[in-house]
């Protein structure tokens, strides 16, 4: 696939939006930026970085991406942090906190921070802020996690690091916390030209269904998620059983595991055990970078569900909406920002509610079609990569003018 340039988006977004991005980029040309996270593959953060960094560089910025190294012990600790930030009760010991500190210290010794701006993604590398005093860079902490109801032990520990950053970014208003530093809201986004989202031919879709031995003789309901308890794969299976009492259909639960998530194999084994013998509940373990397969599975689906118990933003929802699919999802995290109930999708709160709404849409295909149509336009306006790019550029520009309420930008004024 050819490399995508910023000009290619003129077929997707309004010309004035593209011109605004170029105007901002001209002001920031040559700015050096480093993005740091904990995995190069698996999960929405890595996917977003793979797509947005080439566009930054195409616009004249100089952006690099580095991934911290960690042991299994470290990633078990940060998985506990992740669950705790989502509100799950976890036992965090002093030894676990020291493991977090030590791995961040070791990574700091192997990295340099000579760029103009350092963007640290999520809690795993948050401890790198210890290096801030040695460098001139502005530091940004970008939180992709739903922090609306964290357990205090985890949040208080992380706050000691977070409040040393220059600014923070959250994905939704409800995620923001009381902090001593400025907070920005930037929605995550999808790239319409990515392999996971590009248009597919019917032949391409059918090739993937054949590969996974999925027939099309009955409706397909799909959830694309990591094998993670917070994505509620068991709840998806229970909803399947309720729907099947009344409607002949099939479910697909397809996903993989992220390299920084050690729980994945355990969750997969439990789901396989529960669904053993159910020929119409397909569990697909797909490797990283199976974007083509994910695209085809979503496009082949009659309905897409996202029954998360907790969610950062839920880019799988965005992806399905962009494909004009009716989406039924739990009202958690950033999902209600994307789904305006009964307009761009349907929000639910339980297994029973999920099953009921699946049956409703299967019996009312015109309603499903309308939801899909409105959902796609909602994504076009708010959740495409170009909107994300613009907001990052505005943030970077503001970091060059701290404390100013009015900033002159080319021939325009930004307030």
Contact 130, 191 (CB under 8 A): no
Q: What is the pLDDT of residue 415?
A: 44
Q: What is the pLDDT of residue 383?
A: 95
Joined together, the tokens standing for residue 228 give 């993670």
Q: What is the pLDDT of residue 55?
A: 96
CA distance 249 to 103: 48
Model confidence band, residue 121 (pLDDT cutoffs 50, 70, 90): very high
Residue corresponding to tokens 């099947």 = 244
**Interior angle at CA 168, CA 178 and CA 96, nearest 5:** 80
Task: Look at residue 161 and tell me whether its pLDDT is greater than 90.
Answer: yes
Quote the strand ranges of 234-315, DSSP E: 250-255, 281-285, 303-306
Half-sphere exposure of 147 (CA within 13 A, CB side): 25
Q: What percent of the chain has pLDDT over 70?
A: 96
Residues in contact with 274: Cβ distance below 8 Å, sequence separation at least 6, in sequence order: 234, 237
Residues in contact with 378: Cβ distance below 8 Å, sequence separation at least 6, in sequence order: 321, 338, 340, 344
Task: Look at residue 414 and tell me whether its pLDDT is greater than 80.
Answer: no
| pLDDT (mean) for 136-141 | 97
Determine if the pTM surpasses 0.75: yes
Distances (CA, A) of 152 to 156, 158, 244, 257, 308: 6, 10, 41, 28, 22
Model confidence band, residue 412 (pLDDT cutoffs 50, 70, 90): very low
| pLDDT (mean) for 398-405 | 80
The pLDDT tens digits for 60-115 are 999 999 999 999 999 999 999 999 998 999 999 999 999 999 999 999 999 999 99
Model confidence band, residue 1 (pLDDT cutoffs 50, 70, 90): low
Task: Look at residue 142 and tell me whether its pLDDT is greater than 90.
Answer: yes
Q: What is the pLDDT of residue 403?
A: 72
Residue 101, judged by CB atoms within 10 A of its CB (0-12, 13-18, 19+), counts as middle
Residue 385: how many other CB atoms lie within 10 Å: 24
Residue 172: how many other CB atoms lie within 10 Å: 20
Considering only CA atoms, which of 124, 83, 122 is closest in space to residue 103? 124
| pLDDT (mean) for 174-185 | 93
| pLDDT (mean) for 232-259 | 93
What are the structural domains, with CATH classification, of the chain?
Answer: 6-189+384-400 (3.40.50.2000), 202-382 (3.40.50.2000)
Q: What is the pLDDT of residue 262?
A: 73
Percent of the chain that is helix, strand, coil (3-state, to 5): 45, 15, 40
Between 412 and 251, the more confident residue is 251
Helix axes 291-300, 202-211, angle to 10 degrees: 100
What are the helix (H) ranges across 86-232?
94-110, 152-162, 202-211
Q: What is the pLDDT of residue 264?
A: 86
Residue 63, judged by CB atoms within 10 A of its CB (0-12, 13-18, 19+), counts as buried
Considering only CA atoms, which of 284, 294, 283, 356 is closest in space to residue 325? 294
Task: Look at residue 365 and tell me whether its pLDDT is greater than 90.
Answer: yes
Joined together, the tokens standing for residue 93 give 């010991």
| pLDDT (mean) for 311-337 | 95
Q: Considering the chain, what is the average pLDDT of its residues?
A: 93
CA distance 10 to 212: 36
Contact 245, 238 (CB under 8 A): no
Model confidence band, residue 45 (pLDDT cutoffs 50, 70, 90): confident
Task: Look at residue 413 and tell me whether its pLDDT is greater than 50.
Answer: no
3-state SS, residue 316: helix
Task: Look at residue 411 and tell me whether its pLDDT is greater than 60.
Answer: no
CA distance 336 to 271: 27
Residue 17, judged by CB atoms within 10 A of its CB (0-12, 13-18, 19+), counts as middle
CA distance 10 to 278: 46
Considering only CA atoms, which of 330, 338, 322, 288 is closest in space to residue 41? 288
Joined together, the tokens standing for residue 262 give 């050690």
Asked whether the CA dihedral 230, 234, 237, 242 is positive or negative, the reply is negative
Q: What is the pLDDT of residue 410?
A: 58
């Amino acid at each position: 696939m050819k490399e995508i340039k910023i000009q290619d988006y003129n077929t997707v977004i309004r010309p004035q939006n593209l011109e605004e991005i170029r105007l901002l980029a001209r002001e920031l040309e040559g700015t050096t930026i480093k993005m740091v996270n904990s995995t190069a593959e698996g999960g929405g953060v890595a996917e977003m970085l793979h797509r947005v960094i080439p566009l930054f560089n195409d616009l004249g910025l100089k952006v690099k991406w580095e991934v911290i190294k960690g042991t299994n012990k470290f990633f078990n600790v940060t998985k506990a942090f992740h669950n705790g930030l989502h509100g799950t009760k976890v036992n965090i010991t002093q030894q676990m906190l020291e493991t977090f500190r030590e791995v961040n210290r070791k990574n700091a010794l192997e990295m340099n921070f000579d760029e103009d701006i350092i963007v640290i993604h999520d809690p795993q590398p948050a401890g790198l802020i210890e290096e801030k005093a040695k460098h001139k860079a502005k530091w940004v902490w970008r939180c992709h996690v739903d922090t609306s109801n964290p357990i205090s032990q985890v949040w208080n520990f992380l706050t000691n690091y977070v409040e040393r950053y220059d600014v923070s970014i959250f994905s939704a208003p409800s995620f923001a916390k009381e902090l001593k530093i400025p907070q920005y809201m930037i929605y995550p986004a999808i790239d319409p030209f990515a392999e996971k989202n590009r248009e597919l031919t019917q032949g391409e879709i059918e090739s993937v269904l054949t590969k996974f031995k999925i027939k099309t003789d009955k409706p397909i309901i799909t959830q694309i998620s990591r094998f993670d308890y917070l994505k509620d794969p068991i709840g998806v299976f229970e909803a399947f059983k309720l729907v099947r009492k009344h409607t002949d259909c099939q479910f697909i639960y397809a996903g993989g595991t992220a390299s920084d998530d050690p729980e994945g194999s355990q969750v997969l084994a439990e789901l396989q055990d529960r669904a053993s013998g159910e020929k119409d509940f397909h569990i697909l373990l797909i490797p990283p970078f199976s974007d083509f397969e994910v695209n085809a599975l979503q496009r082949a689906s009659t309905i897409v569900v996202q029954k998360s118990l907790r969610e950062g933003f839920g880019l799988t929802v965005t992806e399905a909406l962009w494909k004009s699919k009716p989406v039924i999802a739990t009202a958690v995290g950033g999902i209600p920002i994307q789904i305006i109930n009964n307009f761009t999708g349907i929000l639910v709160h339980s297994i029973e509610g999920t099953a009921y709404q699946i049956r409703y849409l299967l019996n009312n295909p015109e309603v499903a079609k309308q939801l899909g149509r409105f959902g796609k336009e909602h994504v076009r306006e708010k959740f495409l990569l170009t909107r994300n790019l613009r907001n990052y550029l505005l943030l970077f520009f503001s970091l060059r003018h701290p404390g100013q309420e009015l900033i002159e930008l080319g021939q325009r004024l930004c307030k």
